[in-house]
């Protein structure tokens, strides 16, 4: 009886050990699947030097797979509560997806025009014509000098977002 008991115990411990090793290996595998890829982590924050922008010539960069419009406003372009002010310069920072159905508007002379259904946005990213129901959205950003980091919620972003929320 004691031999039988020992054999059962041994088999039980062996099974438990194999199960524990298998479980641990599964957890490692699942973690690797769940964790974001290094390229995704690196893509979470994007730094842009605004000081290099030419007034009136917006640029489009990609952040987290979305187009981001960055415009240094000219003196003729109206001030707006969503302007990012750095020194003497005013900038528009906006997610470049039309707020109607998500097309990417293109800059034409002095406004962004959406080719899908004719929506238009002024240099402050406000909708001024067509079906878009609201201005272009504001991406989170922080500011250091003339550099912005997309993906971080800095005080400048919070101030502009609060102003947009009450507009
Ligand atoms: S998607 Fe831009 S106007 Fe419809």
Q: What's the mean pLDDT in 79-106? A: 97
Let me know whether 100 and 65 are in one domain.
yes
Predicted TM-score (pTM) of this structure: 0.76
Let me know whether 17 and 87 are in one domain.
no
The number of the ligand 1 atom at minimal distance from the alpha carbon of 118 is 3
Q: How many domains does the chain have?
A: 2
pLDDT at 167: 77
Let me know whether 17 and 59 are in one domain.
no
Query: Which CATH number does the domain housing residue 132 bear?
Result: 2.102.10.10
Q: Which residues span the domain enclosing 128?
A: 42-166
Let me know whether 133 and 92 are in one domain.
yes
| Ligand 1 probe mutation, 69, 99, 120, 131, most atoms within 8 A of CB | 131
Burial of 103 (0-12, 13-18, 19+ CB in 10 A): middle
Let me know whether 64 and 10 are in one domain.
no
pLDDT at 44: 85
Let me know whether 57 and 123 are in one domain.
yes
Do the Cβ atoms of 96 and 60 come closer than 8 Å?
yes
Let me know whether 70 and 48 are in one domain.
yes
pLDDT at 16: 65
Say which residue, 96 or 31, is predicted with more confidence: 96
Let me know whether 16 and 78 are in one domain.
no
The number of the ligand 1 atom at minimal distance from the alpha carbon of 114 is 2
- How far, in Å, is the centroid of ligand 1 from the Cα of 60? 18
The number of the ligand 1 atom at minimal distance from the alpha carbon of 105 is 2
Residue 51: is its pLDDT beyond 70? yes
| Ligand 1 probe mutation, 95, 99, 101, most atoms within 8 A of CB | 101
Do the Cβ atoms of 47 and 148 come closer than 8 Å?
yes
Let me know whether 87 and 12 are in one domain.
no
Let me know whether 52 and 116 are in one domain.
yes
Report the alpha-carbon distance of residue 111 to residue 119 in Å, rounded: 10
Say which residue, 19 or 117, is predicted with more confidence: 117
HEC assignment per residue over the chain: CHHHHHHHHHHHHHHHHHHHHHHHHHHHHHHHHHCCCHHHHHCCCEEEEHHHCCCCCCEEEEECCEEEEEEECCCCCCCCCCCEEECCEEEEEEECCCCCCCCCCEEECCEEECCCCCCEECCCCCEEECCCCCCCCCCCEEEECCEEEECCCCHHHHHHHHHHHHC
Residue 158: is its pLDDT beyond 80? yes
Let me know whether 18 and 49 are in one domain.
no
Q: What percent of the chain has pLDDT over 70?
A: 75
The 10s digit of each residue's pLDDT in 110-131 is: 999 999 999 999 999 999 999 9
Residues with CB under 6 A from ligand 1: 98, 100-101, 103, 114, 116-119, 130-132
């Amino acid at each position: 009886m004691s031999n039988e008991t020992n054999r059962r115990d041994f088999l039980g411990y062996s099974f438990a050990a194999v199960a524990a090793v298998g479980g641990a290996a599964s957890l490692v595998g699942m973690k690797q699947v769940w964790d974001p890829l290094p390229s995704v982590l690196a893509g979470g924050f994007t730094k842009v030097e605004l000081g290099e922008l030419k007034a009136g010539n917006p640029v489009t960069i990609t952040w987290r797979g979305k187009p981001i419009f960055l415009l240094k406003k000219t003196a003729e372009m109206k001030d707006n509560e969503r302007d990012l002010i750095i020194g003497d310069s005013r900038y528009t920072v906006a997610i470049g997806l039309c707020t109607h159905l998500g097309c990417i508007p293109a800059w034409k002379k002095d406004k962004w025009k959406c080719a899908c259904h004719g929506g238009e946005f002024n240099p402050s990213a406000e909708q001024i014509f067509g079906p878009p129901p609201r201005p272009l959205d504001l991406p989170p950003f922080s500011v250091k000098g003339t550099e912005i980091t997309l993906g971080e919620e800095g005080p400048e972003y919070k101030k502009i977002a609060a102003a947009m929320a009450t507009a």
